[in-house]
Amino acid sequence: MDLSSLDIFEAVAEHRSITRAAQAIGRAPSNVTTRIQQLEQDLGAVLFSRDGKRMTLTREGEIFRGYATRLADLAAEARQSVQPLRLAGELRLGTMESTAASRLPEVIRRFGSQWPRVSLHLTMGATRELLGSVLAEELDCALIARPPEKALDARRYGDLDLSRFDARRIYVEDLILVLPPRHVEVSDAGDLRVETLAVMEPGCTYRRMAEEWAEQATGLRTLELASYHAILASIVAGNAFGVMPRSVFELMRWPVDIVSREIGAVETFLVRRKDEGRSETFEAFHDTLIATRGRDGVSMPHS
């Protein structure tokens, strides 16, 4: 058993899919399958229940996941113990509300545990606003969202050009369409039975992608709300539809059978100004994101 095996195990546990886990951590699906099989053989236990392509943790898998998390924490603590640099000061981090809710609690916990002398200051905002704040040196770095490069329309998303930033991809989110209970299945905007799109503030990448998906709908109205809970409440009431990352949707448990479907992928980048010199605090935060991301993405420099 090695740390990379634990990373692969955590990725499959998080995504409940070999294919999605492999995409998230940049490995071939066959490699992920082999490593999981080797881990199960090493432990002498079945960690996953396999139902077609869906992978769910067994009782033994749930128990092992707790130990895997502790082992990852110990490895991070061991690396820190031999590093001569003791970080101190502050890190001004901007983030989208969705990322703060679904991704950052464990990141903040671990970063604070490893680097107690660094004060982390959070600022919430939409992607466009956060990028501007980083360039204006009001933030040291930010977590922002934009469509994948292959789906990026420069005319529509030109203001999300990352060429001026040191941009590192951290997460790949599934963006899902959420419809009221008992709504008919949809293949495009022409199948919509509601005329109101519930969204967050202007500058939100998810909002822009929702508006792009729904632009063929006739008579569409926009309802701007302050939170994803408010958006989902409007959807449950049957008054609207919306989009949100799957990671956020799965945090909110509603006792109704609402309709959802995936409409695309969105990438979350950690960005800072390209002209900044090396920052050990930034690198430490980046490393913590990678270690605690639930293995939902891969880090890569933006070119």
Q: Which domain-ending residue is among 38, 59, 81?
A: 81
**Co-location of 195 and 245 in the same domain:** yes
pLDDT of residue 154: 66
Domain span at residue 34 reads 3-81
303 domain residue, yes or no:
no
Q: What is d(CA 162, CA 158) in angstroms, rounded to the nearest whole number?
A: 9
Q: Is the model's pTM score more than 0.75?
A: no
User: Do residues 43 and 182 share a domain?
Assistant: no
The pLDDT, as a whole number, for residue 300 is 37
Q: Please, what is the Cα angle at 240 between 235 and 244, to 5 degrees?
A: 60
Q: Are residues 214 and 287 in the same domain?
A: no
CA distance 178 to 262: 9
Q: How many domains does the chain have?
A: 3
- Tokens, residue 91: 């890190």
Examine the domain organization and report whether 122 and 178 are in the same domain.
no
Hey, CA dihedral for 213, 218, 223, 224, is it positive or negative? positive
Residues with pLDDT less than 70, the chain:
77, 79-85, 151-152, 154, 255, 293-303
| Domain-ending residue, one of 39, 58, 81 | 81
198: nearest Cα among 144, 236, 253:
236
Closest CA to 120 of 287, 255, 281: 281
Phi and psi of 297, rounded to 5°? -170, 180
pLDDT per residue over 172-188, tens digit each? 899 999 999 989 988 89
Cβ neighbours, 10 Å, residue 11? 25
Residue 207 forms part of a structural domain = yes
Q: Are residues 12 and 140 in the same domain?
A: no
Structural domain includes residue 297: no
Query: Could you tell me if residue 131 is left (phi over 0), alpha (psi between -120 and 50 degrees) or otherwise beta?
Result: alpha
Check whether residue 133 and residue 281 sit in a common domain: yes
For residue 272, being part of any structural domain is answered with yes
Does residue 26 fall inside a structural domain? yes
